[in-house]
Structure 1
């Protein structure tokens, strides 16, 4: 039995040795194959780039070099209507034919290889509307195919100017354009397509459509990408418009407060001062334009003006109904509302003088009643005129909102390329 156990242990040791030898042989064979592949890659790259000039554009005879570009828009963020800027993240998948970079796969068994960006020629662009352009790849590569096709994927973050159409803010929609021009390589022809990869989640401005076009007119070869932005008005309506109309409705209901006393005056002054502070923040949060200011600016200014007029009217009628009137106002009211003021001649003056002491308390009481009646009539008439003007004004404002058009002129600015 001990002899059998010893034989079994010897066989297991022999098996382990054989497995170790096989693994070592496979590892050596794999290392040898990797070295051969690296040598072939190095030899292929050397043969392609030994006499290659990265500053010389591929020659396509009498025809311009065609560059196919697939634009993928992955995000639009930092939409700033006060500075008229947006930030967009793009991916440009470019491909073109370069006869100098093709090879025979029988000699070099590789369908494609990658080389550093600076070793081969690539198209250069400048974005007319951009003020900052950042590349997203820290070590960019270019993919070479054996047929001579070259592929380069360029990731960009572009901070650019956008001419927002804010006349109907917050229900505004705007076309923001990015114009790519090749100022150095003029013998190019672009074939452009696009893909919208934006997920419009929790964005105040939504990208509804994209459009890409190439320019065939005079000048350097170029193509443009247009992003149609649509504003979601929920936040602005709830934070700006609803509070403004709530203040105006509260002002209208303030006419139900009594004229006598200080309740109405305090109420109106509080509304005006509160909205005045609110109005300053509203104006600072809205953009301005040389020709097409947002209609909301005029709406907020009209509400502020109406609150001011309402407060002035309240002060006026309250002063009329009170006892401490100015002398000139008392004289006017006494002339028009005192019963004995229609007597003429000496008889009338004598009768009036004789009855002054008797009728003075009664005249003061009647004067107070007449002041209050006059103030109530003026207040009622002003309320009717005020509410009627509100209805007419906002009906006209709604018509202006839906019928009037206003478009600002574009302000393109040349920017450095990348």
Structure 2
């Protein structure tokens, strides 16, 4: 996470105070290396960029010292991504003064200005600051609460997946001879979509997004649907007369396991005279089987989405604390 902060620091040093009668001015601007300034270390940061390497220090006649620092902090933040893309996370920045002890330095902190947003898809919903006591080194902690609006993900991922489910269910309205090519095209298109999806979903968190499991299950459902289409299409094929050659004859036909010497269960050994008759009896059975598969698949889709919504509402996953974050325990926000 990248954060730009403006730190306004002030403290009193009586040794730097002066009498206005002796020095006829109320303020003085000097380089910051000329007086003592607190040395701050951000524990969660892996890179800190200063906008001004040599900021000026303002001295007042009563001994008040003011120092303004503008810096960009690139820090580690373990996001709570279990409910991505409508996730909410708390990121902390801990400012330590390692060169001082608590008896020598005490922070009195407050937040005066709050930035309302960082990017279009994220909003800052809260900024809190605390300075815990009774610690070996003085420090203060800034907690930033960010909320993902999810607009980009909803438009680019949720809407296409909903269209995929509707298109898949509407495939049962297509004749079987044309449905197989439709399902194969749909499966290949989803594989391309899924490969790009894996790279777009965030994964650097101790709580992986439930959305990644959702799209994986959709892939399995679509694969099952394609296999079902292949099976039913094979049963209604005009060249599939194996049952007829094995004893399927007419409405009162039975399948026997004993055949005459001049017949076999291979399609190439039949004379084809009863092909149309066998197909006419297979098509109603295949239509019933296709209808059965439709209700089974519809039940699987509905059950999966009900279970997914239940897991979404009930499952909780708290991200791990950043390394060295034990000092955050016990802070009352």
Q: TM-score range by the shorter chain?
A: 0.7 to 0.9
Structure 1 residue 330 and structure 2 residue 242: aligned?
A: yes
Aligned pair count reads 315
Q: Please say if residues 59 and 65 of structure 2, whose CA atoms lie closer than 8 Å, have aligned partners that are also in contact.
A: yes
Question: TM-score under structure 1 normalisation?
Answer: 0.70
| Distance verdict in 2 for CA 1:306–1:240, change over 3 Å | same
| Match 2:145 to one of 228, 232, 242 | 228
| Match 1:385 to one of 296, 308, 322 | 296
Determine the C-alpha separation between the residues in 2 that align with 1:122 and 1:220. Answer: 16
| TM-fit CA distance, 1:305 | 1.1
State how 1:169-184 maps to structure 2 within 5 Å: 169-184=84-99
| Match 1:294 to one of 209, 231, 248 | 209
Q: Which runs of 4+ in 1 moved over 6 A?
A: 342-345, 359-362
| Distance verdict in 2 for CA 1:122–1:246, change over 3 Å | same
| Match 1:161 to one of 56, 61, 76 | 76
Where 1:91 maps in the other structure, the secondary structure is strand
| TM-fit CA distance, 1:411 | 2.5
Q: Any idea what the Cα deviations from partners look like across 1:173-215, whole Å, max 9, x if unmatched? A: 1011101111111221110101234243862111011100012
| TM-fit CA distance, 1:101 | 0.7
Residue 256 of structure 1 is matched in structure 2 by 173
| TM-fit CA distance, 1:290 | 6.5
| Greater Rg over alpha carbons, structure | 1
Determine the C-alpha separation between the residues in 1 that align with 2:51 and 2:40. Answer: 16
Residue 57 of structure 1 is matched in structure 2 by none
Determine the C-alpha separation between the residues in 1 that align with 2:197 and 2:257. Answer: 62
State how 1:23-42 maps to structure 2 within 5 Å: none
Gaps of 5+ in 1: 1-85, 353-358
| TM-fit CA distance, 1:306 | 1.1
| TM-fit CA distance, 1:256 | 0.6
| Distance verdict in 2 for CA 1:201–1:210, change over 3 Å | closer
Question: TM-score under structure 2 normalisation?
Answer: 0.87
| Distance verdict in 2 for CA 1:343–1:244, change over 3 Å | closer
Where 1:134 maps in the other structure, the secondary structure is strand
Where 2:226 maps in the other structure, the secondary structure is helix
Residue 136 of structure 2 is matched in structure 1 by 219
Residue 187 of structure 2 is matched in structure 1 by 272
Residue 117 of structure 2 is matched in structure 1 by 200
| TM-fit CA distance, 1:302 | 1.2
Determine the C-alpha separation between the residues in 2 that align with 1:213 and 1:333. Answer: 85
Determine the C-alpha separation between the residues in 2 that align with 1:192 and 1:161. Answer: 23
Q: Please say if residues 30 and 56 of structure 2, whose CA atoms lie closer than 8 Å, have aligned partners that are also in contact.
A: yes
| TM-fit CA distance, 1:349 | 7.2
State how 1:106-121 maps to structure 2 within 5 Å: 106-121=21-36
Output the aligned Cα RMSD. Answer: 2.6
| Distance verdict in 2 for CA 1:194–1:401, change over 3 Å | same
Residue 403 of structure 1 is matched in structure 2 by 314
| Match 1:148 to one of 63, 72, 86 | 63
Determine the C-alpha separation between the residues in 2 that align with 1:216 and 1:403. Answer: 37
Determine the C-alpha separation between the residues in 2 that align with 1:344 and 1:91. Answer: 88
State how 1:15-164 maps to structure 2 within 5 Å: 86-164=1-79
Where 1:323 maps in the other structure, the secondary structure is coil
| TM-fit CA distance, 1:412 | 2.6
| Match 1:412 to one of 323, 330, 333 | 323
Where 2:109 maps in the other structure, the secondary structure is strand
| TM-fit CA distance, 1:331 | 4.6
Q: Any idea what the Cα deviations from partners look like across 1:244-287, whole Å, max 9, x if unmatched? A: 1101110110111111x2x1111101111011001111110112
